[in-house]
Structure 1
Amino acid sequence: MKNLIIDLDGTLTLDEKNIPYEDKKPNLAFIKQLQNYQKMGFKITIFTSRSMRTFEGDVEKIKTHTYPTILQWLHKHKVPFDDLIVGKAWCGDEGFYVDDKAIRPSEFISLSYEEIQKLLAKESSQCF
């Protein structure tokens, strides 16, 4: 199965500080590319850490208070997705995520599927 796991803030949205979530601007180039991947048969899951800091990791509070706002934003901006998962660990403002299958938003937009596969293959063939 072909799956894409997509972050929300700073990926699907443009990373603007001090803007309410519902007013965040969409990353239109990213969304267009995501629509192309949907046409190629990819299952799209949005996995976000939105509100993990605010609600101190309480996923039930996030589902109650934040989930509806996310859904509304996704539908408003015609973002294709099959599943929405909240509760991704928040790495903090100075931390980052490390994953051997990670592609930066700019790479997702600018590289073809074949180029992304080559990039990932290169990572997995590295000897450490």
Structure 2
Amino acid sequence: MEKQRRLLIEITKTLCGLPDSQGYLDGAPQPAVVTRLRQYQAAGYQVVLFTSRQMQTSDGNLERLNRYTARNTMKWLRRHQVPYDRLLFGKPWAGQGDYDIDDRVLHPGEFLQKTPAELLQLVAQRRQAVGAGL
């Protein structure tokens, strides 16, 4: 049995192009990203959304985060008809001067412009480059 392919999508500033002056519930999703998510989901991909929303504010308290932030985020996703199969909270917050380092990260523009086969090739090239540099 073939394993279901997944897309792991960060909500804030990837799915939702949130200006710094807006609150989480005020921003609208990027229409092109939502369209692309629908295409991938229709092609059999599992869409997994994740976020570090309110991780700094809640001081990493997942219970508090799930009680308040999760409810509002789910309302926002429903209101904007964003497709997803799973929703994960609690991604560590990378503040100013912090970095997320991962060998499989794609820029939102790459996700929008490339085919699934091109994305696989791009990730493979990056992983090879990272491995060569270690």
What interval of TM-score do these two structures reach, taking the shorter chain for normalisation?
Answer: over 0.9
**Runs of 4+ off more than 2 Å:** 93-96
When the two chains are superposed, the root-mean-square deviation of aligned CA atoms in Å is: 1.1
| Contact 2:48–2:87 (CA under 8 A) maintained in structure 1 | yes
TM-score (norm 2): 0.90
* The one of 69, 73, 79 aligned to 1:70: 73
- Equivalence for 2:54: 51
Deviation, structure 1 residue 117: 1.0
| Contact 2:47–2:85 (CA under 8 A) maintained in structure 1 | yes
* The one of 80, 97, 101 aligned to 2:104: 101
| Consecutive unaligned residues in structure 1, runs of 5 or more | none
Tell me if 1:24 matches 2:24.
no
DSSP-derived class of the 1:85 partner: strand
* The one of 34, 37, 40 aligned to 1:37: 40
Deviation, structure 1 residue 3: 1.1
Distance 1:30 1:58 in 2: 30
Distance 1:96 1:9 in 2: 16
Deviations 1:18-51 (A, max 9, x none): 2121111211111111111101111111111000
| Consecutive unaligned residues in structure 2, runs of 5 or more | none
